[in-house]
Structure formats: C-alpha cells, structure tokens
Amino acid sequence: MPKSILVVDDEERIRSLLQAYLTQEGFRVVKAANGKEALLVARRERPDLIILDIMMPEMDGFEFLRVFTKEQNTPVILLTARIEETDKVVGLELGADDYVTKPFSPRELTARVRTVLRRMGKSLPATNVLECGDIVMDRDAYLVTVRGTPVSLTRSEFDLLAALMSSPGKTFTRLSLLDFVQGVAFDGIERTIDIHVKNLRAKIEPDPHNPIYIETVYGVGYRFNPSGKAG
C-alpha cells in the first residue's frame, strides 16, 4: 500500500501541484486548506507524513502543531514563505521534522519527504516504472528507453515527460507543466515548455514533425497519448 501524505496549504495551486507530483512518485495524497480542516483529515486518514504551510487562515501551522503533536507522532515538513530563523526554530521545537521555504522545487520537496520517511523507519513506495507504448521510464533509476534504446534527457525534459506519462490522456496547461519543471512560485515563461517539448519530441518520437506520443492541444497545452499511435 502506498504511503500517504497530507498536504496542508491555503493555496489551491500548491495543493494541486504537490498532489500531482507526489502521486506520480508513488504516494497517496490527501489535502486540506487550513489547520482546522487538517486536524479532521489527519485524525481520519492517519497519514504517514504531513506537508504543512505555516501562514494559513482559521488555524495556522504553528497552532496545528501545538494540537496535533499531542495526539499523533506523525512526521511533519513545514512549508512557508517566511524565512526568519525564529520561525524555523519555533516550528522545530513544536515537533516539525524539516523545513522548506517558498519558492520550492517539487523534486527537492519529494526528496525531503523520502529522507524524513526513511529516517522515521517507514518503507517507501516500490520502484516506479512507467510504460507507454515503446517508451519505458524508470523514475528511481532516472532512465528512459525508447524501443529498448536508452535516451539522454535533461532534468527538465525528464520531469516534463514524467508528468505527462503519469497521467496519460490528461491535458496539461503550459503553466501547470512549468510548475513541474521549474517548481511552484518560480518565475518562468510558459512558452519555455514549447521549447522543452520540441527537444523532447526530437528524442522520443519516431517522427518529431508528426508526433504520436506528445500531442498538442491547441490553445491549451499538451497531453500524452499512451497508445503511441496516431489519432
């Protein structure tokens, strides 16, 4: 059974991004928009780890920790735009296990999640291999093969392909894909994704000018065709 992560943040964009990214990494994700809601969800779901924003309405992260740590011994990673050392110290003294500041990279945060879970002695998801048509991606080994031949991808290309392959048939906007590649709250130009897609197609498509895997959804973004057959 996959390990469960509770993501607590008052920004829907961040909750959705982390849900998508952690799900593709093999975790089960539940969400809450503030500390009060998080208490209800945590008591019901008993997650293996909590990613917790500090600055939230209704009940902030510090108050959540004051209440929750008396009930359960669940590892917590704080997520906040505040970088004052006193905030970090207070959070750790209240029982948090790690601290990540915004803007953040989803890839870095996922690595922190794995590190904390490993330190707590909780088993991690098994090796995650995605296979669609002639394309096979081993995310743990950071390896992609096309028709049995390994291809060399940049980190951005790998993250982009992982996002698309993890939800075949789903249409992603350029902005959402930019979050996967650069991390939430980083400045970036949406058209950057078009460049990454062009380079990625050159490496994985039989004919990059007539792609069968990475399809363009005009006016929106891109989606992955799992059949590898022209529609």
Question: Is the Cα torsion angle 163, 169, 20, 141 positive or negative in sign?
Answer: negative
Give the pLDDT confidence of 108-164 residue by residue, as tens digits. 888 888 888 887 776 556 557 888 888 998 877 788 999 889 998 887 888 889 889
Cα–Cα distance for residue pair 70/122, rounded to 1 Å: 21
All structural domains of the chain, each given as residue ranges with its CATH number in brackets, are 4-119 (3.40.50.2300), 129-224 (1.10.10.10)
Give the pLDDT confidence of 2-18 residue by residue, as tens digits. 889 999 999 998 898 88
Cα–Cα distance for residue pair 194/221, rounded to 1 Å: 9
